[in-house]
Amino acid sequence: MTTHTPAQIAHEKRRYIQVFVWLTVLTGLELGVIYTPLSKIAIGGMLIMLAGTKAALVAAFYMHLANETRTLTWIAMTPAVLCVLLVFALLPDLGALTRAFTQATPQVATSAPPPPH
């Protein structure tokens, strides 16, 4: 196990407080963003970016991924990539879900009647 020197530990403690301040500020920003007069898509995009930044800060500094071997980073990234793929895999189902919830019948293309002679 790596032995940490007092200087390293003091540096880490400062970093922990800095990250805490950032996490608090970003959480405050998230709460502020939902009251801004922007479109839902813009607010959603900003919220996802803020949440991703907060999650990355926790993983990198509190879970020490920034100082770990690359193997752990790859292990941590794998579920994130798979979950993004899962979201894209579910996208084709959204239309079917919407129809099911609204109980709308899908429009069936009908051939035009032959013109009268």
Return the residues of window 51-70 that contact another protein according to CB under 8 A: 51, 54-55, 58-59, 62-64, 68-70
Alpha carbons 104 and 102: distance in angstroms, whole number:
5
User: Least distance (Å) from another protein to the CB of residue 105?
Assistant: 16
User: Least distance (Å) from another protein to the CB of residue 115?
Assistant: 40
User: Least distance (Å) from another protein to the CB of residue 57?
Assistant: 9
Residue 31 in the binding site for another protein (CB under 8 A):
yes
DSSP string, 1-35: -PPPPHHHHHHHHHHHHHHHHHHHHHHHHHHHHTT
